[in-house]
Amino acid sequence: MVFIVLGILLLDRYAQPRHLPWKPLDLDEPIGLATGVKLVMLSLASSKVCLDKLASAKQLSYKQVVSKNEGNCGWKTAATMFEVSNIKFEPKVVTAQCPVLLASYIWLKDIDNAARQRLGSGLKYIHHAGSYSCRRQRGNSSGVWSQHAFANAWDVTGFELLDGQFISVLKHWDKDISEKDRAKANFLRDARSSACRLFRSVLTPDFNTAHKDHFHLEQGPSFSCH
């Protein structure tokens, strides 16, 4: 027991806070060993706690939006994200629940670095298919409601870089892609690996044909990385 306590004290003193689950989450630090755990904890906290953390992001343009109620669909607390560290969206906004935006902010900053390393240019636009849609899960015979029905997920279709390069999930995910586009395929896998450390559920073309053209990024109750 003494050694356990001593070990914790040493970690607390010398390890970087992003690796320690009991330290507060810093949205502008690189992803750490405990970042995913901290995001889960924030998703279980009150909306105010989550929004206060979102407000601490140094390079995020956003605003809170009013609640939405469409029968079984909608949200109590959500926000619209306009820009992350000069990275914009096409369409121009992403409206989602706070835990999705927390993970998205960290993810976009992380994959911007990956794009610079892999492809020599940073991100300019994230192309997406939206977040909110009042519908049930596609292909699920049980009729379970999709997390899109609660603005608790969003679908990313492609990445446009500052130098004009475009990386399409549909065109560049294939493992048999030409050598010319190999770096784009590798970037997409970097993006998937990064997302899996931040979102509870990540679905890619490897999951099924319904996801052949996008990444599904979700903060729902289940955990999966495909």
DSSP string, 96-148: E-HHHHHHHHHHHHHHHHHHHHHHSS-EEEEEE--S----BPTT-TT-PBPGG
Query: Tens of pLDDT along 129-169?
Result: 999 999 988 756 567 899 999 999 999 999 999 999 999 99
Q: What percent of the chain has pLDDT over 90?
A: 85
Half-sphere exposure of 158 (CA within 13 A, CB side): 14
| CA–CA separation, 103 and 98 (whole Å) | 9
How far is residue 214 from each of residues 62, 82, 88, 138, 206, measured CA to CA in Å?
A: 24, 20, 18, 14, 11
Burial class (CB in 10 A: 0-12, 13-18, 19+), 172: buried
Confidence (pLDDT) at 104: 98
Confidence (pLDDT) at 90: 98
Confidence (pLDDT) at 192: 98
Q: How many CB atoms lie within 10 A of CB 97?
A: 23
Q: Which two tokens stand for residue 105?
A: 């902010």
- pLDDT band, residue 179 (cuts 50/70/90): confident
pLDDT at 110 over 60: yes
Across the chain, mean pLDDT equals 92
Confidence (pLDDT) at 97: 98
pLDDT at 182 over 80: yes
Confidence (pLDDT) at 50: 97
pLDDT at 8 over 70: no
- pLDDT band, residue 11 (cuts 50/70/90): low
| CA–CA separation, 70 and 221 (whole Å) | 21
Confidence (pLDDT) at 177: 75
Confidence (pLDDT) at 140: 60
The pTM (predicted TM-score) of the whole model is 0.94
Q: Which two tokens stand for residue 205?
A: 């073309």
Confidence (pLDDT) at 180: 74
Torsion 31-125-55-94 (CA) sign: negative
* Domain locations in the chain as residue ranges: 35-67+75-225
Q: What is the mean pLDDT of residues 193-219?
A: 96
Confidence (pLDDT) at 98: 97
- pLDDT band, residue 218 (cuts 50/70/90): very high
pLDDT at 191 over 60: yes
| CA–CA separation, 176 and 81 (whole Å) | 35
DSSP letter assigned to residue 150: G
Query: Tens of pLDDT along 47-65?
Result: 999 999 999 999 999 999 9
